[in-house]
């Protein structure tokens, strides 16, 4: 069962974070394109757009959250483990498990629920961004945020499963304190 989880099921779940990372990469390209278009339009054509600022902040705000699940899986997030890295690998897994299941996953689940509900309400009502002269609908932005938070919550759950396995058999999964440069299969 453990081998099935580690070799088949968890990597399958990790693909969600990988897919979201691809979406974030596409969003970066779109963000760069919008910014270049705005600069050319403003500086060379003397015709600034009313929509570029909104697209820029919505895309930029969303892509960081959409890439969060992949960042967690790659262990590329900010991590302060100078204290916990001194413990055995089993205790490191236990510390991470308690943090993930006791604090992080419940907070993310509540946040994800609220984000999805807010995006759904904005879609139903056709809510507009009223701080903008363009006044675009806001639900795509809120949906991107919800997608990122849900993806991160799923990845935290998968990492929690890895830490449960690590507490039971530290050799079965990679240690929590590995560096991002070492990579993850």
pLDDT of amino acid 180: 43
Question: Would the pLDDT of 75 be above 90?
Answer: no
pLDDT of amino acid 181: 44
Task: Let me know how long the chain is.
Answer: 185
Distance of CA 68 to CAs 24, 53, 76, 115, Å?
Answer: 10, 23, 10, 15
- What SS3 state is found at 183? coil
**pLDDT tens per residue, range 109-130:** 999 999 999 999 999 999 999 9
Asked whether the beta carbons of 172 and 2 are under 8 A apart, the reply is yes
Share of the chain above pLDDT 70, in %: 95
Distance CA 174, CA 178 (A): 7
Band (174; pLDDT cuts 50, 70, 90):
confident
Band (1; pLDDT cuts 50, 70, 90):
low
Least confident of 72-76, 118-122, 178-182: 178-182
Question: Would the pLDDT of 137 be above 50?
Answer: yes
Where exactly are the structural domains of the chain? 2-182
**Global pTM value:** 0.89
pLDDT of amino acid 178: 63
- Average pLDDT value for the chain: 91
Question: Would the pLDDT of 85 be above 70?
Answer: yes
pLDDT of amino acid 185: 46
Share of the chain above pLDDT 90, in %: 75
Residue 70 is encoded by which pair of tokens?
A: 């992949």
């Amino acid at each position: 069962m453990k081998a099935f989880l580690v070799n088949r099921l968890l990597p399958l779940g990790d693909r969600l974070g990988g897919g979201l990372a691809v979406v974030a990469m596409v969003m970066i390209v779109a963000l760069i394109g919008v910014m270049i278009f705005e600069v050319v339009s403003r500086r060379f054509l003397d015709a600034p757009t009313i929509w570029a600022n909104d697209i820029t902040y919505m895309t930029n705000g969303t892509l960081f959250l959409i890439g969060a699940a992949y960042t967690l899986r790659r262990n590329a997030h900010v991590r302060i483990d100078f204290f916990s890295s001194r413990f055995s690998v089993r205790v490191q897994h236990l510390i991470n498990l308690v943090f993930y299941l006791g604090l992080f996953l419940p907070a993310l689940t509540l946040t994800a629920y609220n984000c999805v509900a807010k995006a759904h309400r904005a879609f139903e009502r056709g809510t507009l961004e009223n701080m903008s002269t363009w006044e675009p609908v806001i639900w795509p932005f809120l949906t991107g945020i919800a997608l990122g938070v849900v993806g991160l919550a799923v990845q935290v759950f998968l990492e929690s499963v890895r830490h449960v396995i690590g507490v039971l058999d530290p050799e079965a999964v990679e240690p929590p304190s590995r560096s991002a440069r070492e990579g993850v299969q």
